[in-house]
Amino acid sequence: MYVAVKGGEAAIRNAHRLLADRRRGDRSLPSLTLAQIAEQLSLACDRVMAEGSVYDRELAALAIKQARGDLIEAIFLLRAYRTTLPRFGYSVPIDTAAMHVERRVSATYKDLPGGQMLGPTFDYTHRLLDPSLGRDGDVEEPEIREGDDAKVMRVSDTLAQEGLIEDDGDVPGEEIGDITRTPMEFPMERDTRLQALARGDEGFLLALGYSTQRGYARTHPFVGEIRIGEVEVKLDVPELGFAVTLGRIQVTECQMVTQFAGSAKAPPQFTRGYGLVFGQSERKAMAMSLCDRALRASELGEDIVAPAQDQEFVISHSDNVQATGFVEHLKLPHYVDFLAELDLVRRMRGEHAARRDLQESMPEAAE
């Protein structure tokens, strides 16, 4: 028995020891270094940073190592660390128009100012397992071309010049909300919804975004633009009177352009769905932008007919740390409540049998 046992402490200690052993695996093999994880499993680190809401590659690598590669567990480790960090300010909004772009593609134009840049993408690889990776072969150096310093114009700005696409919209309320410091309350505004989506589970948002494409709240989406690259993070320092650059982070931004026939509230025009994620995570950014757009249904006067449009449904269930905790807590002992149910079922079965016996013993009366 794993409960009601004396010696729970020893059991826990031994379980942790065994876990550490299994995490390390065969001691004759070299242990992974954090740099190896950060460099060679970089997209795993990106996902952990994004959903863990901490931009720190080394800590993400540490979390992945500690979690034995279980990314949700790694995300949880990072979150639990993040929550203890002091908050000394909020950065100035990052300017993705000034991004040092490594990849930038648009599906709505054949060519556009700034060009299409594929960057490091899996998109046109043939998914054939490459046995040469099993050996330590040499890898060619990439060809890098430094672009000019000109800003790469956003596709949405092109459409905005003609008034064909809605404005970016204003921040609702006085200042931007913070879902980690104030309790979420429904209905949520778009700023806090986007925050929740940005740390939401990639798989969950992917499935919801997919559902909108299959007709559960269809939005006719086009990828206006996806861009991946580095942006500066700046902080306003009141004593200095200007913003100081803290460093650079890599982000993935997706602007989804969606159709909108117009309503009593707004004229026909294209609308936006927005996705922004730490690191290189195109799937997440695209899914996020589909969900963001679907969640704007009531703002745009659309009928709410599908799960992806229902913010209580989407936001309440998008956090994988919460979801995994509550699902997995079912393995904790519940025997006190189970006994209460057992007692009730036994009693009701007894009554049921008694009723049946009574009916069988009085056949005439029953007829």
Partner 1 sequence: MDAGMDADMDDGLATYNFAYLDEQTKRMIRRAILKGIAIPGYQVPFASREMPMPYGWGTGGVQVTASILGPDDTLKVIDQGADDTTNAVSIRAFFAKVADVATTTETAKATVIQTRHRIPEERLTEGQILVYQVPIPEPLRYLEPRETETRKMHALAEYGLMHVKLYEDIARNGHIATTYAYPVKVEGRYVMDPSPTPKFDNPKMHMSDALQLFGAGREKRIYAIPPHTDVVSLDFEDYPFEIQHFEEPCALCAAQGVYLDEVILDDRGGRMFVCSDTDYCEKRRAEGHRGHLAGDTLEAAE
For position 55 contacting partner 1 by CB under 8 A, the verdict is no
For position 88 contacting partner 1 by CB under 8 A, the verdict is no
Phi then psi for residue 226, to 5 deg, are -125, 130
Contact range with partner 1 by CB under 8 A, out of 39-47, 166-174, 263-271, 318-326:
318-326
For position 81 contacting partner 1 by CB under 8 A, the verdict is yes
Determine which residue in the list 169, 172, 267, 325 makes contact with partner 1, applying CB under 8 A.
325
Determine which residue in the list 123, 185, 360, 364 makes contact with partner 1, applying CB under 8 A.
185
Burial class, 350, CB count within 10 angstroms (exposed 0-12 / middle 13-18 / buried 19+):
exposed
For position 322 contacting partner 1 by CB under 8 A, the verdict is yes
Tell me if 227 sits within 8 A of 104, measured CB to CB.
Answer: yes
Contacts of 140-144 with C-beta under 8 Å, sequence gap 24+, read none
Between 183 and 241, name the residue whose CB sits nearer to partner 1. 183
For position 342 contacting partner 1 by CB under 8 A, the verdict is yes
Burial class, 2, CB count within 10 angstroms (exposed 0-12 / middle 13-18 / buried 19+):
exposed
Tell me if 240 sits within 8 A of 318, measured CB to CB.
Answer: no
For position 7 contacting partner 1 by CB under 8 A, the verdict is yes
For position 336 contacting partner 1 by CB under 8 A, the verdict is yes
CA 349 to chain centre: 47
64 three-state secondary structure? helix
CB atoms within 10 A of CB 87: 8
CB atoms within 10 A of CB 190: 18
Alpha carbon distance 209, 291 (integer Å): 6
For position 304 contacting partner 1 by CB under 8 A, the verdict is no
CB of 51 to partner 1, least distance (A): 12
Between 14 and 259, name the residue whose CB sits nearer to partner 1. 14
For position 341 contacting partner 1 by CB under 8 A, the verdict is yes
For position 246 contacting partner 1 by CB under 8 A, the verdict is no
For position 8 contacting partner 1 by CB under 8 A, the verdict is yes
For position 6 contacting partner 1 by CB under 8 A, the verdict is yes
CB atoms within 10 A of CB 150: 8
Q: Which residues bind partner 1 (CB under 8 A)?
A: 1-9, 11-12, 76, 79-84, 86, 180-187, 312, 316, 321-322, 324-330, 332-337, 339-344, 347-348, 351
